[in-house]
Structure 1
Amino acid sequence: MYFKNVFSLIICFVLSACSFVQIKEMSNTEKQLLGNIHQDHVAREFRAAWVATVANINWPDEPGLSVIEQKEQAIQILNSLQKHNFNTVIFQVRPQADSLYQSSYEPWSYYLSGEQGKAPEPFYDPLKFWIEQAHKRGLKLHAWINPYRAHHHIGGPTSEQSVVEKMNDKVVKLKNETYWFLPTDQAVVSHTLNVLTELVDSYDLDGIHYDDYFYPYPSYNNDEDFPDAEQYRQYVAEGGALSIGDWRREAVNQFVKRLYQRVKQSKPHVLVGISPFGIYRPGEPETIRGMDQYDKLFADAKLWLNEGWLDYFSPQLYWPINQYAQSYPLLLSWWQSQNTHERHLWPGINALRSFDEAGVDEVVNQIMINRGFLSTSPGTVFWNVAALDGSQLMSDVIAQGVYQHQALIPETPWIAAPHLAAVNVDMNYVGEDIHLTWSHSNSEQVSQLLVYLKYAQQWQYHIYSSEESVISVAASEGQRPLEVIKVIAIDRLGNQSDEIELLIK
């Protein structure tokens, strides 16, 4: 009886304690962020995240990891992108004139092994692995290069194979211990274009991407001028008439133009993207203030967009919407006004600002502004991939809220693509599922499969990698039987074939 009474008291105590446990209710903002988006037809949106390897920011998280650990970390990142319904990864492969792939021109990266020039052991090609694993998950992979950084100040000691040693008259040392190529030197241009050509020719890339590091930010050299006075004097002595600023800008402009031409000569389907600093010049538009990239980085980003020397343009709009002097919507609208060739405008956002409700709300609001301003070709690039799992709220809102539906990349109409024939589909019942086995007259053209399903008058869709030769769909959802299936082939540029319709009896 004693033990029975004690047990009863314990039960009463537990029940009483439970009555004081408060279950946190979602705020109105959280409810909004996790609301339903009605999407009967496939969404078209570029959803990308940067994966930075410089200074081991994202991958690998430290130099010297085993090959197994490196692969595990890569798969974890790619799985997260897939889970959150992204469709593109922008992977940094040339962080400091060294490579995360097998290059004939530059050494293996310090950020892999902790020793520049040392190949992975046992050997594997990281870029090839990333491409294969990305495509397996239906993700595009864009190779991100840094054209002018020769050695990062957090990049370990330079090796005998480093361009700092091999091309020592083509690089300069800055005050923060970073080495920089001389952008005006034609040998530097030729070297970088050769690196790029080999990269594009050797790998099954979906894009080439480079960011805002043209001439270095002033802080890299303690706000002193870039140390190329000797080269400029030689230019003037040989009859050059440009000012030093125009001379520097012209070198970068010609590089941007030639890079685009080189990629298109090699593989026209490979997209070329540039991600410059988000402000062109203070006062453009009128109320904007901030660093002048035209004058400080010698980057005439407006010209590149005006000339169409790129396929997509991702200005780094890393400021909040309501920060008046760097207003996100004002800057986005201004860049759109400069998009005279109607290229893709997919801004980069700072998704790492904070992971609380206010930070998550800011990210969603910027994505929604992009969808409104750029309705024919929306897109957003996250700085950086770590933001996806920055907090449970951020993860849930991306996967179940703003990106709750999968999306194909927007089409790129200025790139010619061969006609994409419709797929052939065989349908078989396997238990409570229907298996769709597809084939195609030119299967290498097919990058993805878009499948529409109609359950009792309601449509839904799913996107599958072309590596899935058999697609399994449910014959019913609860009491709703499957009535119609539509299967559409998608090429690597997002173009669609005619649909194949299957009626379920």
Structure 2
Amino acid sequence: MTPSRLCSSLSAALGLAMLAACARPPAAAPTPHASPDAPPPVMREFRGVWVASVANIDWPSRPGLPADSQRAELVRILDRSAAMKLNAVILQVRPAGDALYASELEPWSEYLTGAQGRAPQPGYDPLEFAVTEAHRRGLELHAWFNPYRARHPSAKTPTAGTHISRTRPELVRTYGTHLWMDPGEDDVRAFSTRVIADVVRRYDVDGVHIDDYFYPYKERDASGATIDFPDSASYARYQRAGGRLGRDDWRRNNVDRFVEGLYAAVKREKPWVQVGISPFGVWRPGYPAQITGFDAYQEIYADARKWLRNGWTDYFTPQLYWQTARTGVSYPVLLGWWAGENVQRRHLWPGNFTSRVGNSSAGNWRTEEIVEQIYITRGQAGATGNVHFSMKVFMQNPDSLVDRLTHEVYREPALPPATTWLGGRAPSRPAVALAGTTVRMQPGPGTPPARWVVQSRHGTRWRTEILPGGAREHVVRPDSLPLRTVAVSGVDRLGNQGEPVVVQVP
């Protein structure tokens, strides 16, 4: 993800602060329910976090760690995510034409092993491990890819012989401090799509994810002049074949074709795997009227509004990386605008720059800013969750960030919203037995659940707990009031919840 490239704006606006305050509900707590024998609805909210591998931002902490240390770090990340009642981890597995998983298409990443092309020692598959351990904790695991970047400035080791810059150098351009696959080359689009589809086919991921890097953000040469992306050869070939689009429109069309084709390719492999996009948070200055600054449509040729309006994604995560009161790029104003553009009613889960909390080099935000943004999201019709950049801040807990989220904003667990347009089928009623406070459950006929919802009534108060689908036994947490009722239901991987089995305590 990239820090804000927007111009400075006016500071706090009283109306926006009032909006944030109005969006804030009381602290969540178990509440009485209208029908004492029927469990209440489960909260629905996507609670995701990005785990970035490029430049070793989040994981692994440094290149070349022993495999046991890599696994231990990843387990700590997943444990912290589960303890915070997050429900999804978005793990970067292809930072720059490389792989943090076993691939026959691309070399092992140097961010993993310290040298591109070198396998982990002793051998293991990090993505397979991440999927298994995430699901064991009831977390979704989404694989995050950069479709075009071929080398990042933080890279230190030579490219491997199997890297695309070596096997197909005609497809890769040097751009400033980067190597970049040319989006204008049909073989680039096909190759990146093939890489992502290969992961969907071989791994039990819940989603695939691309971020805001399409054409590169502009760089300058030594004289300060903006460097144009060097795609004259591919554009000339397009023109010779009869293409009539101007160069800017052609570039946007190249990215459009990739996004549309990727969505179709993933659904051909596994229709239930979700496709997510997290573009720059501003489509164009002036949309809506008060918005100023960077023009992603013009500068990186990303027509993100088109992708959302055409439904080429299952969830859309615009990077709204600014404070609520910064009027030129206001969080609630931009969120409301994107919600209005979501005519296909896809999931809208804005991205938050949570790593700015306590970071003196990035604005030194207070935790209250992130708390308010989550409450604003909850108050915006059509927005049903948030994704936090990035995991490192949750491992550090500046300004009591983790404590506030865990014990206030995310006090109650939540299921991701159901992805109804992808179908799915709610699990059948399970077999449930209750012995004291121990609940035992077995899946009913058909596909087993991805998650269990176990709800317990103590007096008139209901408490909800969400468990991984592999659980077969659970001890209900103690309460000052006696246990009266337990309800158990299964949830499929698309969020469809089955009918509960309700057991009364004699």
* TM-score normalised by the chain length of structure 2: 0.89
- 2:425–2:492 contact (8 Å) kept in structure 1: no
- Aligned position for 2:96: 96
- 1:360–1:394 contact (8 Å) kept in structure 2: yes
Deviation readout 1:412-458 (Å, 9 max, x if unpaired): 111111342111112223xxxx2222112347430111011111111
DSSP 3-state at the match of 2:261: helix
Give 1:163 shift. Answer: 1.0
- Aligned position for 2:311: 308
Give 1:358 shift. Answer: 5.7
Identity %: 39
Query: Computing the radius of gyration over CA atoms, which structure comes out larger, 1 or 2?
Result: 1
Q: Does 1:268 align with 2:271?
A: yes
Q: Does 1:416 align with 2:390?
A: no
The worse-fitting range, judged by mean Cα deviation, of 63-72 and 229-238 is 229-238
Deviation readout 1:33-58 (Å, 9 max, x if unpaired): 99731355421100001000001110
- 1:313–1:344 contact (8 Å) kept in structure 2: yes
- 1:35–1:401 contact (8 Å) kept in structure 2: no
- 1:93–1:144 contact (8 Å) kept in structure 2: yes
DSSP 3-state at the match of 2:197: helix
**Among 358, 372, 378, the residue aligned to 2:379:** 372
Deviation readout 1:76-121 (Å, 9 max, x if unpaired): 1111111111000000000011001111110111111111111111
**Structure 1 residues 220 and 490 mapped into 2: Cα distance closer, same or farther (>3 Å)?**
farther
- Aligned position for 1:426: 433
Counterpart amino acid of residue 159 in structure 1: A
Give 1:378 shift. Answer: 1.3
- 1:427–1:435 contact (8 Å) kept in structure 2: yes
Structure 2 CA distance for aligned equivalents of residues 410 and 484 of structure 1? 26
Structure 2 CA distance for aligned equivalents of residues 361 and 456 of structure 1? 34
**Structure 1 residues 390 and 38 mapped into 2: Cα distance closer, same or farther (>3 Å)?**
closer
Counterpart amino acid of residue 208 in structure 2: I
**Among 394, 397, 401, the residue aligned to 2:408:** 401
- 2:57–2:392 contact (8 Å) kept in structure 1: no
Counterpart amino acid of residue 497 in structure 2: Q
- Aligned position for 1:330: 333
Counterpart amino acid of residue 420 in structure 2: P
Counterpart amino acid of residue 495 in structure 2: G
- Aligned position for 1:53: 53
Q: Does 1:477 align with 2:479?
A: yes
Structure 2 CA distance for aligned equivalents of residues 160 and 306 of structure 1? 41
- Aligned position for 1:20: none
* TM-score normalised by the chain length of structure 1: 0.89
Give 1:327 shift. Answer: 1.0
Structure 1 CA distance for aligned equivalents of residues 82 and 378 of structure 2? 21
Give 1:392 shift. Answer: 5.5
Deviation readout 1:113-166 (Å, 9 max, x if unpaired): 111111111110000111111111110000000000011121222121211111
DSSP 3-state at the match of 2:356: coil
Structure 2 CA distance for aligned equivalents of residues 238 and 456 of structure 1? 74
Q: Does 1:451 align with 2:451?
A: no
Matches within 5 A, 1:248-259: 248-259=251-262
- Aligned position for 2:159: 158
**Structure 1 residues 498 and 383 mapped into 2: Cα distance closer, same or farther (>3 Å)?**
same
- 2:427–2:444 contact (8 Å) kept in structure 1: no
Aligned alpha-carbon RMSD (Å): 1.9
Counterpart amino acid of residue 204 in structure 1: D
- 1:172–1:179 contact (8 Å) kept in structure 2: yes
- Aligned position for 2:113: 113
Give 1:366 shift. Answer: 0.4
- 1:448–1:463 contact (8 Å) kept in structure 2: yes
Structure 2 CA distance for aligned equivalents of residues 335 and 220 of structure 1? 31
Structure 2 CA distance for aligned equivalents of residues 244 and 268 of structure 1? 34
Deviation readout 1:352-395 (Å, 9 max, x if unpaired): 22239961000010000100003x55100101112223325111
- 1:33–1:397 contact (8 Å) kept in structure 2: no
- Aligned position for 1:135: 135
- 1:47–1:88 contact (8 Å) kept in structure 2: yes
Structure 2 CA distance for aligned equivalents of residues 33 and 188 of structure 1? 46
User: Alignment length, in residue pairs?
Assistant: 467
Give 1:237 shift. Answer: 2.5
- Aligned position for 1:21: none
DSSP 3-state at the match of 2:476: strand
**Structure 1 residues 437 and 359 mapped into 2: Cα distance closer, same or farther (>3 Å)?**
same
- 1:449–1:488 contact (8 Å) kept in structure 2: yes
- Aligned position for 1:288: 291
Counterpart amino acid of residue 390 in structure 1: N
**Structure 1 residues 220 and 146 mapped into 2: Cα distance closer, same or farther (>3 Å)?**
farther
**Structure 1 residues 358 and 105 mapped into 2: Cα distance closer, same or farther (>3 Å)?**
closer
DSSP 3-state at the match of 1:368: helix
The worse-fitting range, judged by mean Cα deviation, of 326-335 and 204-213 is 326-335
Structure 2 CA distance for aligned equivalents of residues 504 and 86 of structure 1? 31
DSSP 3-state at the match of 1:44: coil
Counterpart amino acid of residue 268 in structure 2: Q
Give 1:190 shift. Answer: 1.3
**Structure 1 residues 113 and 463 mapped into 2: Cα distance closer, same or farther (>3 Å)?**
same
Structure 2 CA distance for aligned equivalents of residues 159 and 461 of structure 1? 50
Counterpart amino acid of residue 136 in structure 1: R
Unaligned runs of 5+ in 1: 1-31
Counterpart amino acid of residue 36 in structure 1: A
**Structure 1 residues 443 and 134 mapped into 2: Cα distance closer, same or farther (>3 Å)?**
farther
Structure 1 CA distance for aligned equivalents of residues 311 and 26 of structure 2? 38
- Aligned position for 1:486: 487
